[in-house]
Amino acid sequence: MAQFCTKCGAPLGEGLKFCTACGTTVGAPSAPAAPPPAPPPPPVMAAPSSTPAPPTPPAAPTPAAPPAVVAAPAPAPPPAAVAAPAAVAAPVAKSGSPIVKILLIILAVFLLFSLLGVGACVYYAYKVKQRVNQIREQARITFPTARGTRELRTQPFNPAVPTPPAGPAVDTGVAVYPGATPWGGGTQVNGPTASMKAQEYTTSDSVDQVMAFYKDKLGSTAMVTQSGGQVVVQTLGANGEVTVGITSDAALGKTKITITSIGK
């Protein structure tokens, strides 16, 4: 029985192991044949329309590309201009009037002299005060003040009538109250740096009258201190210190005046 190739259907000779047509091994199971392709579906026909289709407009012509513009070469930059020399700045005019400067100088000189005057016054006052303190200290050393406890008397006694101290009167350099008489002798002590003079006087006038007299004589710088029936009029100057003590002496029935002058 003749054999045929299971793949291509060509007749095979006896004893052949391969198909001479397609090279398929004889006796090998053949691959199942591929199913035939499905037939395409029938085209669907569009229903005819009563309105005719608008005509297709013709395609617009494509504009031709403009010719390429060749850039012109940039002109070479001009040579750098030589910088003009800087203008010389005009000298600035000085402001201000010479009259104003002169007035300011005069004002400064006036202020300087005013300060110097104030400083001189302060220095002079300081030196005067220092000198007075030295005079007072010297007088305190030369004439020490007696210290101690006053004597107490438990029995009544009749005070003796005061008698004026013996000795000549001393001129203190201070005006004497008109009509006053010296009460005995005075005291005068001369030290190495200062001197002291003291003299007492009596008058029949009142304490107020004597106080008014010495306030006028010693000037406006005089200091007045009143305590009870006693009055002290004191002045301090460059030449020393003057103290006038005014009191009413009941034993004498008069006003007693004590003048003390401390100076060079």
Give the residue extent of every domain in the chain. 99-140, 181-263
C-alpha closest to that of 202 among 256, 244, 243: 256
- pLDDT for 89: 47
C-alpha closest to that of 211 among 257, 151, 264, 180: 257
Mean pLDDT, 10 residues at a time, the chain of 264 residues? 75 76 68 56 52 51 49 50 44 65 91 86 81 77 60 57 75 90 86 84 92 89 85 82 90 90 80
Q: For the domain 181-263, what is the CATH code?
A: 3.30.160
Q: pTM (2 decimals)? A: 0.40
- pLDDT for 81: 41
- pLDDT for 27: 67
C-alpha closest to that of 233 among 241, 248, 223: 223
